[in-house]
Amino acid sequence: MITELLLPAKSPTMTEGTLVAWKIKPGDQVAIGQVIAEIQTDKAVLEWESSDAGRVAVLLAEAGQQLPVNAVVGLLTTKPGEDTTAAVAEAKAKNAALAAPVAAPAPAAAPAAVPAPALLSAPTAAALSAPLPAPTAKPGKSVRASPVAAKVAAALAVDLRKVTGSGPDGRILRRDVEAAAKDGSASFASAGATAPPKPKLKLSRADGPAQADLPLSPMRSVIGKRLLESTSTIPHFTVSETIAAERLADLREQLAAADVKITVNDLLVRASALALRQHPKLNAAWLGNAIRQFDSADISVAVAIPDGLITPIVARAHTKTVRQIGDEVRALAKKAQEGRLAPAEFQGGSFTISNLGMFGIAAFTAIINPPQVAILAVAGIKDVPVVRAGAVVPGKQLTVTLSADHRAVDGADAAAFLKTLRELLEAPALLLI
């Protein structure tokens, strides 16, 4: 019997993925649950475990190739010597039909012909799909690198096959690439190899400086589609609140002096979770024909990564201490930067916090992440003059802006939530209980 290996959808928003590396080769015996490949989705690089068993008859995709979900990338057979000619032809026809609607470019027949995109600074994810030169390392060596490390390697002309990884299971991290670039031990030139050809830029000099058209990475493409969907279909409205932040800033300084690693964002996550428990209309999802209110406050925290934005989740944040929340947020952010988040760590969530306070901005609004019905935009703490007892004195203020889906949330609901949030943040010691 012949079984097709179909590229799986590893996240709800995934429509295509990049086959980062094969863990099998023709002739290998595959068991159910065995890791057969690594796939870069619109969110992270994930392992693909086989749901079938058999011997690898043929692989129809190369490492680095971008493919639509459900593309046939290989065939397994359970009978020795079974003829796969017809199955291969059928698989290629299926792949052609899947690629046609999205007008995806056909992969090149040879590595030298695979184009890399034009860039003015750092390479995009598509650039990383260009094959490296013939390996000088021993055959069969598998390269495991975070997306960030791979991008830095491409920018610094570092051969990842010559880099020793310091991450989990030998995974190559950014620091490993930078160290190798600094000592020159893994550069293409150091071994007499030829670096991959530099891509030609698509430049336009009509009326201004040179420009480059950068292909969309899978993540950037999904972000664009989801945000367009959000702004086009969700009736957003916003409500802002100004919070007296002197006590908040003082508490953080006192904790820092005691070498306790708690940030204002950690306190915000805790306060938001407690406020959501009091105002469940904002802790909800719009389902089209129903509104699902959640009992658990699962807070999605927006984290910037090189390709865009990802929202790892602090599950059941209302049950966790501020220190637990802080430790979890830092661990999730680190995994996000290294492309190691598991699907369960970024899929779902009942409410989102987007914090740009570290950039010192005064205020901003955020776009709702459907099917959630609200998102909180957090600005920076500002030194401002305030009036107290009829006198103008120095003070600190924090502005937060709530974007809500008017189909599920009314203005009074949003205002009540922000009032509770303000009361909690203006008495931050209560958040430590």
| Nearby residues of 325 by Cβ (< 8 Å), 6 or more positions away | 266, 269, 270, 314, 317
Q: Find where tokens 């099917």 sit.
A: 371
In angstroms, rounded to a whole number, what is the distance separating the alpha carbons of residues 99 and 88?
A: 16
Q: Work out whether the CA dihedral 303, 247, 424, 241 comes out positive or negative.
A: negative
b/e sequence 92-118, b meaning 16+ C-beta within 10 Å = eeebeebbeeeeeeeeeeeeeebebbb
Cα angle value 177/178/179 (rounded, 5°): 90
Q: Are 1 and 78 in contact (CB under 8 A)?
A: yes
Q: Find where tokens 């598991």 sit.
A: 342
Q: Work out whether the CA dihedral 158, 117, 74, 42 comes out positive or negative.
A: positive
Q: Which residues participate in catalysis according to the annotation? A: 406
b/e sequence 356-373, b meaning 16+ C-beta within 10 Å = bbeeeeebeebbbbebbb
Q: Are 96 and 107 in contact (CB under 8 A)?
A: no
